[in-house]
Structure formats: C-alpha cells, structure tokens
Structure 1
Amino acid sequence: MLKYLPFAKHFFVKRFPVELTFLVTSRCNARCGHCFYHRDINAKKDELSVEEIAKVFSGLGRLLRVSIGGGEPFIREDMPELTRAICKHSKTPHITIPTNGILTDRIVDSVKRILNSCTDTTLNVGISLDGLGQRRDKIMGVEGSFDKSMETYRALKELKKKYRKFLLGVVLTQTYSNQGEIEKIYEFARDELKPDNIAFSLVRGSSRDEEEMNIDITIYKKMVEKIKKDSFQGRFQFWKVFAWQRNVVYNYVAETHEKNRYLLPCYSGRIRIIITPEGDVYPCEILMLKDRDRFRLGNLRDFDYKIREIFNSDRHYEISKFIKESKCFCRHECDLTTNFFFNPYLLLRRSLLKK
C-alpha cells in the first residue's frame, strides 16, 4: 500500500495527470460494430515514435496507472520498446493493455518482453470477449477470431507461471447484439478461462453500428449483481478494496444511464487525460469524439512534448472550466473510476454510511 502514498495529494490538488489512456495506434485488424473509435480506425496517422514517447513521459512524473489502447495495440511492432519507455519514465505501478487477441505470436512475444523489462510494474492484459465461437467472429468481422483469442489466452496463461506481476483478464462489453447472451459469455469466462479479472462495461460513444447502442439496462444491473457476488467471494484476483470501488462505479454507470444527468464532479482534463497516436491531448474519449477541434487541449509536438506547458495554457483553463461549469457527465467506467476514487467527500460519505 505504501506505493500509493505519493498519489494521496491528488485527493485535494488536481492540477496534473495521475493517470492516462494512451491510444498508441488507430490501426486495427478487426471491424467491431460497437467500436467507439471507428471513425479513426486504419486512418493514416503519424504515430508518436518510441523516442517521442520517452520525451512525453519523462515530463509527466510518476503516474498511478497507464492504459495502452488503440486500435489494436499489438499491431505496433515496437510495443515492447514503447511500453518500456513508459515504465522507465512514469514509474507507474500499473499498466493495462486490452487486445482482441488475434495476433497470437506477436502478443505473446511482446508481453514476455514487456514483463522482462518492466519488472516493477504490474501488467494487466485483457482479451476482449464479446461473443463465443462464430458469434464472436461475426461481431469482430474476422473469421476464426474466437479460436485465435483462445489460443492467445492459453499461451499467456502459461506466462503467469513465471511472472508474478502479470495479470490476465477478460474485457466484456455489453452491446445490443450480445446482451441476450452476456451472462453466458461471462460464465464461460469465469468458469472456463478463470481470469484474474473481468472488466465489464457498457458500449459507449458513437458506434459504427448505431443499433449497438440500444442496450437493456436491466440486463446490465443483473450482471453487476452477479459480478459483485463473485468479487466478494474471491473469484477474481484483486483486493476487496478495489472490488468495492469497482462495484460502486458499476452503480454509478447504471444510475447515470437511467437518469441521464450529472451525478458527481468530473476530473478529466485535470488528473486524467487521453493521448492519441499522433500526440493530440484530450480530457477524455467522450469529448474527443464529440468535437475534436473544440476539446483538443493541444498537440505534444507543438509543445516540445511537455504536458506541463499544455496544462499551463489558456486553452486548458477554458476547457477545464467548461467541464466544471457545465457539469459534464458520462458513464465511461474509466472516467467514473477516477472521479470516484479521487473524491475525498464521496469516500468519506461512503465510510460513514458503513458505520
């Protein structure tokens, strides 16, 4: 627990990122109908190089958590090198990488190399599983994708025998097309794959297929209760304090979806940011997708890779002011987790209610 003490100041002073999502590429080898990033998928991007990434993270200071996404992150052949640069300069205790699991050999080799070079960091790799068998192939638009992802999962599970700081999870997103079988998918993952964790979320943003956004919140709430029960029975490998935190976030997701209104302050753009493949910085994915020009904080190349200069700009001040004064809200699990965890008043209220 001592390793988390340096981040305690962010409960009260929210002026610089403590965690971020880095979309390292827009390239992808799948065509999921529910993809929030579909307008950028496989668009030509001048991706930040490993050298540029090192410059960015050397000026960020220590980070609590880094999520590496895409596109499909492992399409980048330099994933081990860029991840090593992130670990070296951010000293982060946690890195999370979601993947569709199709590129088995490259994924396994990259993960092994990352684990060998980032020995002080807990690496969590989550394989997306939004359907079983041919249903998954259809959802991803790739024949044989389910079998490939299972091959990848089995190979990565072998690595767990050697690497103590390696967590292997499953990423499960509820969409219109899979919500009728979401419980079956979850139980397959829990009982057959036995992952360290299952990240469950609602489809978000603007999907390639807009029908995918028509979710049944009663199904989501039923799944949340199932996950809560399994979490506190020790079915997954994380501390109960984090299980409790995640379960509270699930409740906020459901309530935000049902009420469609602001429920708690948002700290995105202050202690949490998004970096795109070409180095654009945004407060969050939702505002990035809403209006790229309006909510772009700046491009790292224009600021000599110095996040602090972007944070000291008038543009950052105006966008942060907008988020606060407009009571901006969403139901994105990553943002809600940050908003809850770094809100001392919510934590205190929750503690008092338990007494």
Structure 2
Amino acid sequence: MVVRSFQRIVCGVSGGVDSAVSAYILKQKGYEVIGLFMKNWDEKDESGQCSTDHDRDDAKFVCQHIGIPFHGVNFVKEYWNDVFSPFLKDYQSGSVPNPDIVCNRQIKFGVFLRHALKQFSADAIATGHYARTSVGENLQYKDSNIGVKLLKARDSWKDQTFFLSQIPQSALQRVLFPLGDLLKSEVKHIASEVGLQRIARKRESMGICFVGKRKFPTFIGEYIEPRPGNVIHVETGEVVGDHQGIHHYTLGQRIIHVNHGRFGKCFIVDKNNLTQDIIIAPGTNHPALFNEEFYTTLPNWINKEPTGFSDSKNCDLECRFQRKVLPVPCIVNKCSGEQVRVTLSEPMRSITPGQYAVFYNGEECLGSGVITQKGPSLYDLQQGQKITHNQRST
C-alpha cells in the first residue's frame, strides 16, 4: 500500500460561499492552495450580461481576500460535447437525464482534474461539495487495494453524494471535500467571520446552469423542434388532448392539456418516443404512477462491487433517484447482458428512465446506474390480477 500526503491543492472556486470556505479552510490548514475558476457556459441574458462574468469576479475577489493565486480555465467546448449534446439527445428521445451528475463525472472530476494535475502539478483538487471520503483530508491511498469510499456529508440536507455517484475511483483518490463535516450554517458563519460577508449573503445557484432564469420549456424549445402527439387516458385509452413534444414533460408532472372538468387533475405516467403519445392518470396518487421494480445500466461502483453482485446474487442495498428523497431499501440483481434489476421494498412514484438510480449502503454511496426502463406499475399489476380473476371465473 502506498500512502501519499497532499501538499499542492487546486481548489475549484465558483464565486459562491461553499467553494470560498473550502479554499479558506485548506489555506488555514497549511496546504498550498491555488484557486481555479472554470467557465462551462457563455450564454448572455437579455441585457447582454453573462452571469459567469459576475461569478468570476466574485471568485477572484475571494482568492485575493484569502491570499491564494487565482486562475481561470475555459471548458465551454468540453461541456458542450460531453454534457450538453448528450443531454439534448436524451431529451429528444423522451428520457430525462441529469446533467449535474454527468458534469461532475466528465468535467469537474474529469477534464478539470486532469488540467489541475498537468498545468499546476497539483497533488489533488478540492471542491465545495458536501461529501466525505473514508480517508479524510490529509492522506489519500494511491494504487491500493483498499480503495477510497465516498461517504455522506454530516449535513444530511446538503449532502451531495447523489451528484458524485458517477465519479471514478481514480478521481476520488485525488479529491478533498473540506465541507464534509460542516453544516451549511457553519459554512456561512465562517465566511462572515473572515470578511466574506458579501459572498455569504449571495443567493445560492439552483437548477441547471445553462437554463438560467428562463423557464425550461422555453429553453428546450430553442434546441428541439416541436413533435406533436396525443395525450391518452391510461384507464380508457381515450385521446383527451394533444401536446407539442414529449421533451417538454417528465413523469409525475401535472399536465394541463386535458378537460379538467371531466377528469380532474391529471399526471403523466408514461411517454412513448415512437408514437409521441403521453399517457396520463387522474390524481396525484394513481397506482399507474408507482412502480416496485425498474432496470438500470451496469452501475459505476465507486470503490468495489457489492458482495455477491458478480455472482448474480441478491444484494441488499438502498437506492434513490432524486436527491431529496430518502433512500429506499432494495434488492439489486445483475441480469443477463448489461442490465441490473432493482426491486424496491416499497413502491416509488414517477421512476423516470434517463435518471440515475444511486445506490447506498448506510453512509457509503456505492455508485449509480442509468434507469433504462420501468417494471409494471401498480395499476398494471392490478389489471393483470383482474384479468386472471375473470379468466378463472369463466
């Protein structure tokens, strides 16, 4: 086993409070810290101003204030090719991808990491993510059979292991997460105490970076042509409305293109890329919205495969496909081919192909796979039972 001590750290600085405090903490602990601002998108708003320019100014101010070098790097091309283009392709096919997870894998812990190691001879990088590793801050294992585990942050509400579930082991061995043991309130307090009050008060960025302040249907409509289709009632098979493209909608979303006086509030339970049909059901808790089983691609296991996975045995884990939904106990089976079957201990609402199923074992984030298809819904199962009962009756 080779143990490596980190000294020179390139810290990603975004202009926000999390990355600012991360850089400050590392500097206080005696690391040689270099601040690196990454530009991934250059869209300007209606006033001709690019929000990235404001963020860069804030990031530069932070570095000057805490006394570390500031540098910038442009990854617009890489982001377009590796994140945005696949995002559009998936949306056009009816899937709903998660660009934040892809960005972490391809950009922040891919090209950013390689740039830091090559251009600055860094030992590691650091980010403002709320997460921890099994080896702490000061030492990392390199070329070891032990491996590094990705662990949940102390602040359960801010924990971001969900978005880090696709990063490879080789990257995790070169990463520090200074905020892993801090609460968000503590991070803001530190920023204010060291003279970064303006950064601490800054509104936190939310949502997909390239959408900005625009409504998502307006944004996606700039890149994908309308493809009209029908809205179909799941129980009757009746066409009850129309739409301008399945890429505007996601599963579980309330849809307004129907006669509410007749059906009440309706929600999307499925989309068909071949016919462009959207299937809806009345009521937010209709059984057609819930599934107990789904399939994923072979997961990226961050450290190592769960015991028994290679032998196609039952693996008792936990999973979630939305960050702010608590993990649900599940059984994971490796199927023939490149598929994994996930059986949930309780039905989950609006399981969505294209999203990531993220797997946990207690505090450890094991990795994730892309959801490829759903199993039968509770409504499908109920209908099957009715058919079987009727056949027996005759």
* Fold shared by both chains (TM-score > 0.5): no
| Structure 1 or 2: more strand by fraction | 2
Question: Higher helix proportion, which one?
Answer: 1
Bigger radius of gyration, 1 or 2? 2
Return the structure number with greater relative CO, CA threshold 8 A, min gap 6.
1
Q: TM-score range by the shorter chain?
A: under 0.3
